[in-house]
Amino acid sequence: MPLTDSYGQGVTYPTLTDKPNAQTLGQGIVDGLTPKVVMTFASAVVRGATIKKPAAGMVAWLKDVGRLEVFDGAGWVSFGYGTNAWKTIPLASGFTGNGNSNGTPQYRVVTLFGEDTIMLRGGLNLTYTAGNIKNNGVFNSTALPTVARPATLRTVPVACSAIASTVTSLKLDIKTNGDLGIVGTGGKDLPPWVSLSGVICSL
């Protein structure tokens, strides 16, 4: 009765009581290892319970988070990748997309250098009431999902129009509750658009 490997990868091998058959032995090993060059686990918890002493260079795919990781000798770290699809940001009243022809406001979360990172692109058209930006600057009508929220407040610069403004950039607050807010308008600074293109921020 064939047994399976101790790493939980489902690779079978014969026992001493099995009938000798070199072809079956070789085919079983090849068929078992070929699809398992990268080990697959349901989660990091399952991987940790299975691989007690990982060796540097081991690679694993985590199904629950859709992430490829390698053991670098000290810990499991993510490969840099950026295939996650762009998602359109739903806009609150007072904001419309394609500001300065920059396109639809969108975001995506990627892994860079072992950490989750949010990327933004597109442009916003801004409107004001009595010199104040609508909705206190928060332009997304639905909060970003948990996976796209930073551990603490992140404040980054974004370009804006110099028309009706004495500045050419404002601040973007990426908040822990999933809100995205434009900061710095008011008084003499009422730019009609803001560009989100080029924003890359560690979460």
Tens digit of pLDDT for each residue in 89-119?
999 999 999 999 999 999 999 878 778 899 9
Classify residue 62 as exposed, middle or buried by CB count within 10 Å of its CB (0-12, 13-18, 19+).
Answer: buried
**What is the share, in percent, of the chain residues with pLDDT greater than 90?**
54
Mean pLDDT of 22-37: 71
Range of the domain at 18: 3-78
Same domain, 107 and 144: yes
Judge contact between 160 and 65, C-beta under 8 A.
Answer: no
Same domain, 103 and 147: yes
Same domain, 73 and 93: no
- Quote the Cα angle for 110-120-94, to 5°: 145
137 CB-side CA count, 13 A: 16
Q: Which of 47, 78, 109 corresponds to the end of one domain?
A: 78
Same domain, 54 and 110: no
Alpha carbons 168 and 4: distance in angstroms, whole number: 63
Same domain, 114 and 141: yes
Would the pLDDT of 153 be above 70? yes
54-86 residue pLDDT tens = 888 888 999 988 888 888 899 998 776 655 789
CATH of the domain at 12: 3.40.1620.70
Same domain, 125 and 167: yes
pTM for the full predicted model: 0.68
Same domain, 49 and 110: no
Judge contact between 192 and 126, C-beta under 8 A.
Answer: yes
Q: Which of 45, 61, 78 corresponds to the end of one domain?
A: 78
Q: Which of 28, 46, 78 corresponds to the end of one domain?
A: 78
128-144 residue pLDDT tens = 998 899 999 999 999 99
Judge contact between 124 and 95, C-beta under 8 A.
Answer: yes
Same domain, 125 and 157: yes
6-15 residue pLDDT tens = 777 777 777 7
Same domain, 136 and 40: no
Same domain, 159 and 95: yes
User: Residue 112's pLDDT is what?
Assistant: 80
